[in-house]
């Protein structure tokens, strides 16, 4: 079964989390931890690839390469942010083709106007819903893997209000989107109203579990009981990495040693095991031919 087909199977047995992975190592850790799917965030990619905030600076091809590196090291379905599709009709078609080529199984396309921003930032703007419907139809027409899952995302809650956000998602479902996602609801009451009005459409509904954004922080079980089918844990691994590395470096610069944080660091041997050094050495050895020693003149005679 393909990774895309496996993602669709996951949706038959909710709930589950797509665990954030911002690079190859965190993707491997997510799989080792038992995650059922991985999420590649544009917010995280902007920081990791470019050292920039999520304000629409990362290009389509930069994100493609970032996704491809992550897909190479995991067998899990990968859900990859596609922002606004990086332009118009032809751009969104190229985006889904590239995301498929990279190895992703899912993407979300959002209805923000350019320049886009992180869904939990102030100052967002949205395009007309008819323009978003056209982009969705074009993207779906360019899909070559029938199991590839396209999620329609709206950022309208903070711009035009909850009612418009719900109406937009209904229109995006009509355009053929496989799943629905309103980013940054600001209360449990908003979440309940979304589910009440969108559930009859029969499309899986996604919730973003970002811990420090605008939305209430809820457990996966709580989210499921509200009526959401699955969730993202998008940027917490990157935040955990940032704090741990920041503290280690500050301690080293202050003390001239890592002695006081040694118990919080993976050993050289354990890390090499994790990235597969033993397997790489064995693979290389299996193809090496030991040359026979040169024959002496007496042997030749």
What is the set of active-site residues? 39, 54, 81, 83, 108, 110, 118, 153, 186, 208
SS3 55: coil
Tokens of 197: 């009005």
Cα three-residue angle 261-262-266, rounded to 5 degrees: 115
Q: How far apart are CA 155 and CA 127, in angstroms?
A: 10
Contact, 42 vs 86, CB < 8 A?
no
SS3 149: strand
Q: How far apart are CA 178 and CA 170, in angstroms?
A: 12
Task: For 75, list phi and psi in degrees, rounded to 5.
Answer: -100, 0
Give the DSSP letter of residue 143: -
For 189, the enclosing helix (H) or strand (E) is: helix 188-198
């Amino acid at each position: 079964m393909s990774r895309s087909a496996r993602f669709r199977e996951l949706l038959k047995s909710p709930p589950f989390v797509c665990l954030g992975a911002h690079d190859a190592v965190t993707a491997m850790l997510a799989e080792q931890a038992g995650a059922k799917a991985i999420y590649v965030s544009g917010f995280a990619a902007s920081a990791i690839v470019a050292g920039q905030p999520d304000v629409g600076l990362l290009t389509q091809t930069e994100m493609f390469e970032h996704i491809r590196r992550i897909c190479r090291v995991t067998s899990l379905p990968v859900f990859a942010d596609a922002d606004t599709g990086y332009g118009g009709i032809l751009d969104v078609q190229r985006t889904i083709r590239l995301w498929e080529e990279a190895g992703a199984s899912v993407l979300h396309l959002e209805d923000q106007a350019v320049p886009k921003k992180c869904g939990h930032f102030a100052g967002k703007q949205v395009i007309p819903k008819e323009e978003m419907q056209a982009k969705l139809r074009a993207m779906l027409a360019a899909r070559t893997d029938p199991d590839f899952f396209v999620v329609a995302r709206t950022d309208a809650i903070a711009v035009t209000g909850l009612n418009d956000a719900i109406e937009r998602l209904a229109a995006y479902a009509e355009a053929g989107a496989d799943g629905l996602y309103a980013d940054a609801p600001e209360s449990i009451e908003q979440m309940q109203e979304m589910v009440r009005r969108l559930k009859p459409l029969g499309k899986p509904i996604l919730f973003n579990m970002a811990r420090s954004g605008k939305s209430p922080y809820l457990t996966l079980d709580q989210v499921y009981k509200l009526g959401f089918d699955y969730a993202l844990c998008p940027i917490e691994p990157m935040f955990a990495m940032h704090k741990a590395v920041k503290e280690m470096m500050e301690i080293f610069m202050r003390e001239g040693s890592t002695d006081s944080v040694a118990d919080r660091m993976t050993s050289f041997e354990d890390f090499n095991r994790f990235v597969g050094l033993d397997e790489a050495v064995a693979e290389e050895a299996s193809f090496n031919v030991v040359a026979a020693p040169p024959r002496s003149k007496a042997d030749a005679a």
